[in-house]
Amino acid sequence: MTFSKKDIQYILTIALSALVYAFGIESFVSSGNLFPGGFAGISRLVVMLVERHLGFVIPFGVIYWVMNFTVVLFIWNRIGHKFVLYSVLWFSLSSLFSIIINVPIVTQDMLLIAVFGGLINGFSIGLALRSNASSGGTDFIAIDLSVRLKRPTWNYLLGLNAFVLVLAGLAFGWDKALYSIIFQYVSTQVVNTMHQRYKITRIQVITDHADKVCEAVFNTVRHG
């Protein structure tokens, strides 16, 4: 596997994105006890449940990295390797930065935390996506299932996020869950604005080699 100047640019952007993401997690998400989507939300839920019931703190970055890397072990041979490596770099740096950086609490206002935390979160993920990376975790699962089942599976992720928010609401109060919905909505809108690849486009291809065409399209755009 060779790396071009564009790859170096991608790697630097991924590092910046990971730093911005970690800042958002530590300065907004953690201070507001919010629950982002995907593995980040599950990791936050585990951190808070362990602290409440067992009396000690597991760093968010540790749980987040372990969950993501576990998925990588299962999907490594089924998704483009460079895409996976970039994503591993992103969530590894994000996890590391969230552990080592010490940032002040910007505000105690929950609405500001949800809105600006969502802006920062969406901006960081948008940067990663522009650099041919993703936040890993549930993105990997959705892509893998889409290929294996030959149908979109992103709605399953919405169901998972909803389930996490219900658990968070039951355990820590519905105000946290509702503010988390605002956070996730703002973040999603920023990602959609920054990353046009997720705009729906339909093309029709007539070929005698459907499997090869599907494989080539997926390896290029990461969509089935």
Q: What are the extents of the domains in the chain?
A: 5-196
54: pLDDT strictly greater than 80: yes
What global pTM score does this model have?
Answer: 0.79
Output Rg (C-alpha) for the chain, integer angstroms. 18
Question: Helix 38-54 to helix 138-149 angle, to the nearest 10 degrees?
Answer: 130
- For residue 154, is pLDDT > 60? yes
Q: Check pLDDT > 70 for residue 219.
A: no
Q: Which two tokens stand for residue 163?
A: 């389930």
What mean pLDDT, rounded, does the chain reach?
85
Residue 82 in tokens: 């460079």
pLDDT (tens digit, 9 = 90+) per residue, 34-46? Answer: 998 889 999 999 9
Residue partners of 7: CB distance under 8 A and separation at least 6: none
Report the alpha-carbon distance of residue 4 to residue 135 in Å, rounded: 22
Residue predicted with more confidence, 61 or 201: 61
**Is residue 93 within 8 Å of residue 15, measured between CB atoms?**
yes
